[in-house]
Structure 1
Amino acid sequence: MKNLVFLLITIFSISCSEENNFTSNGKYNNVKSTAIKLEIVNDIKIPLRGDYQYNNSFLQKTESSSFVGLDVDFQTLNFYSFDSLEFSKKIELKEEGPTATPDISSSYYHNSDSIFLFSLTNQFLFLIDENYEMINKYNLRNFTLPESMKSENIPGEISFFSVSKNNYFEFPFVFSPNHNKLYFQLSIHNNIPKYKRLQSIYNLPNIGVLDISGENVTIEYKKNWPESFSSNIIPNNPYNILAKGENSQPIVNYIYSSATYSIESKEQVFIPSNNAEDNITLFDVSKYKSYSDEDELNGIIHDEGYFNLVYDPFRKLYYKIFKHALSRSDDGLKRPHIMQSEFSIIVMDESYNYLGELKLPGSKYNFLHIIPLVEGVAISKENPFNMANEEEYYEFDILKITLLNQ
């Protein structure tokens, strides 16, 4: 175990007045002055076998003290134990045969009997168990927009969207057992040129809710963009983070807005970071100009944004991850890496009240991989710029977050 390290951060804040709590499409929740103590109470190392790697996405805790991740490159689900500190097992995802689940891009582990696998390429959703028995599969290409949403430039074709790029971003889908529904981001096809295309996207549904409780799967379309996204000055990337909160409620966390939206309760709150400087790449649709994929990637890497949202059921807290902006080189040629960014953990209670904020260093942690445990919050140290990390181990720090004046 490494030497105990702790940071004591006291946040002094001014509470919002009752008159200023609400905006036109959401509210700024009360801000509580609080002191937060962050301790690194344990350093976990899980030895890696020679034929396995830690290139996993969509890490989730299982029913036991284990976690599972999807290796997109090798098409396996890998299980690791926090108790025994060892690799437990893997599920090899087959490309062919009666139980084939080809080209899986994302996963969601509900329990040992219900593991959802999604293929972005094939637009297929599979439901398997830990023995790789096929329980069900769903062809998502069967869904199109209703006639009322179609137009000459929006023919109605949709794609369900959930994908990751290791150490860059993760766009998960979530399952709510309370409603027996799956929540996906949508990509709606249209024939509108670039800037105007983005503006049209922000006026269309962004969430598809699949109800799998009946014999036939049904879909409900939901539109819940922040109001500012409907203006002429808009962010360049329409994808956001889906998460699961208290009582398995599905939540949308917007990368380029401080808004957090509870899909079923329809409550939207704004929780801005104290470190936010509005350093976001915006595009003026009135210029009707084209831009490249390189422009979009540069924006994701350099811009500040809210890149993760985690609910901690053991401490009844939310952790909202705010990535700080990265400086651009003078010549514009040298691009930094997103994992070099400093980041903040915004701590909120179950009512989304802001309690405080902790700033952590860049080039040390992977802020996309955070797993609440009974003993603390596990955060992965699999950061390509963490020179202290040992390649033979899957490493985590266990953080203890304590609210001192509650």
Structure 2
Amino acid sequence: MYGIFKMSLSSKIGQFARFFILISLVSCKNDAEQKSLIKSIAYTVDTVRINLDKNQLYDYPRFSVFKTDSIDYFYGYNQSLHRLDIFSLTEGEFINSIPLNTDGPNAVDSPFDFFIYQPDSIFLYGRNYSLDIINDQGVVVAKELLPLSRNSSGVGKQKVGYLSHSVHFKLYVDSASNSVFFHSYSMESILNKSVYYEVPILAELNLQTGKVKDYPFHFPDSYLLDGEYLGEYMNPNIVLSDSLIIFSFPNSPVVNVYDRKSGKLISRTIESGFSINTVKSLPSETYSEIHLRLNHLIENPYFYHTVFDPYRNLFYRTHRGEHPNPDLSLGNLNFSQTKDYLTVMDHSLNLLQEIELPAHKYDALSFFVTKDGLYFPYTHYLNEDVTEDKLEFHVYKFQIANED
């Protein structure tokens, strides 16, 4: 019930978020302040446009990228036709579609998210909370791989469920450990109650043994204060990249990188020079007043997830700045006056550069990395240049200039 509510609000109003923190991990030095390196980063911006027919979409909010040595593929979920559309980002063309079934033994639900393990092994986590595997013909080869719920470790042993999300915590399958990662959440409380935030929020399911491992990542103490909550800042940002777990909090400029192989944690406060870096809380009694929660979301900055670029050894983070004139006496706020920013960091999370992105052009939440660069979908809902006959991305290519 609560999981469905959490995922129901529109991605075009900001992709709502929850806040969490790490405790009890073996970690390396945790710097309280950001470390900024003065370097010149040259970059170019290329455009990838793919022609579409009437059955394909110019915007795929739920997608997965599959990379080979020569070609990078973009899989997008086509909700209206209940299928996966496949494009070559490298060649700039549509490849084919995988039809999904709604009835019979091969039926799968509309996905929260999906992961391309191999072209003939696609993990799909449906909105019926079933983790299934389909092949490249849409045939279900494995079904209901995940228990619907379990008792969590840690305080209270609460009953928890599992979620994946196309932006905040994408489904991830690790071939080395034969496991799949999920965001776990309390099924015993609601989002404006402190008890909701007491459970570990990241779980790893071993597909061979069926055992579940909780990572000791928790919401911070500020979420355990009765009478306060952070409105729509409820979803943690979690990205897995090989052995790295990259996580952050939407109301905080802190970026954390945990290496599963070494057990080490790097944590840096990478503050923005373009926006404020803090978010105020709301009284818990405002939980049922959605317009207040949305105004609060627009009024304050929102820090999105961070991704690793293994080809250039860089990290990228985006965030939305605060509203410049949050005067509610003039009516409810909207996103037309907010701006998005890109922060570039080196492999140790040292700040290299912060860039103001073109206003209202990109979906700044759905960016991803390939060997060709950092891809932004050209699909902001206020973008007047969007055309429905093109799937378009702008690709940022960074190169650190040689120092004298």
Instruction: Give the TM-score range, shorter chain.
Output: 0.7 to 0.9
Map of 1:273 onto structure 2: 272
Go from structure 1 to structure 2 and tell me whether the alpha carbon gap of 1:266 and 1:311 turns closer, same or farther (over 3 Å shift). same
Aligned residues: 367
Do the aligned partners of residues 376 and 331 (structure 1) sit closer, same or farther apart at CA in structure 2, a change above 3 Å counting? same
Aligned pair in 2 of structure 1 residues 209, 300: CA closer, same or farther (>3 Å)? farther
Q: Where in structure 2 are the equivalents of 1:6-405 lying within 5 Å? A: 27-28=32-33, 30-40=35-45, 42-62=46-66, 63=68, 64-120=71-127, 122-138=128-144, 140-146=146-152, 149-150=155-156, 156-163=158-165, 170-191=168-189, 195=192, 197=193, 199-212=194-207, 214-220=208-214, 222-231=216-225, 234-236=229-231, 237-245=233-241, 247-263=242-258, 264=260, 265=263, 267-269=265-267, 270-278=269-277, 280-284=279-283, 290-326=287-323, 327-328=325-326, 330-331=328-329, 333-337=331-335, 341-405=338-402
**Aligned AA (2:164):** S
Cα deviation digits, residues 138-163 of structure 1 (max 9, x gap): 35444321586447xxxx33221224
Q: Aligned equivalents of 2:364 and 2:189: distance in 1? A: 36
Structure 2 distance, partners of 1:292, 1:145, is 31
Please tell me whether the aligned partners of residues 168 and 235 of structure 2 are also in contact (alpha carbons under 8 angstroms). Answer: no
Query: C-alpha offsets along residues 104-157 of structure 1, whole Å, 9 cap, x if unaligned?
Result: 22112233243211123x211112232323332235444321586447xxxx33
State the TM-score, normalized to the length of structure 1. 0.79
1:284 is displaced (CA, Å) by: 4.6
Q: 2:59·2:391 contact (CA, 8 Å) conserved in 1?
A: no
2:335 & 2:94 partners in 1: Cα distance? 29
Do the aligned residues in 1 keep the contact of 2:99 with 2:137 (CA within 8 Å)?
A: no
Rounded to whole Å, the distance in 2 between the matches of 1:226 and 1:24 is 19
Cα RMSD of the aligned pairs, angstroms, is 3.0
8 Å contact kept, 1:58–1:170? no
1:334: Cα distance to partner? 4.0
For residue 239 of structure 1, report the CA deviation from its aligned partner: 0.8
Using a 3 Å threshold, how does the CA distance of structure 1 residues 394 and 146 change in structure 2: closer, same or farther? Answer: closer
1:26-85 residue CA offsets vs partner (Å, 9 max, x unmatched): 654532122223322x22211110112123124333222221122345432221112332
Per-residue deviation, 1:323 = 1.2
Residues 331 and 71 of structure 1: is their aligned pair in 2 closer, same or farther, counting only changes over 3 Å? Answer: farther
1:290 deviates by 4.9
> What is the Cα deviation at residue 188 of structure 1?
0.3
Amino acid aligned to 1:52: Q
Match in the other structure for 1:11: none
Deviation at 1:254, TM superposition (A): 1.8
Identity of aligned residues (%): 20
Range with greater deviation from structure 2 (268-277 or 101-110) = 268-277
Q: Which amino acid aligns with 1:189?
A: M
Structure 1 unmatched ranges of 5 or more: 1-21
State whether residues 185 and 239 of structure 1, in contact with CA within 8 Å, keep that contact through their aligned partners in structure 2.
no
Are residues 209 and 259 of structure 1, via their aligned partners in 2, closer, same or farther at CA, if it must alter by over 3 Å? farther
Aligned residue for 1:4? none
Q: Offset at 1:315?
A: 0.8
Question: How far apart are residue 206 of structure 1 and its match?
Answer: 1.4
Aligned mates of 1:352, 1:279 — CA distance in 2: 20
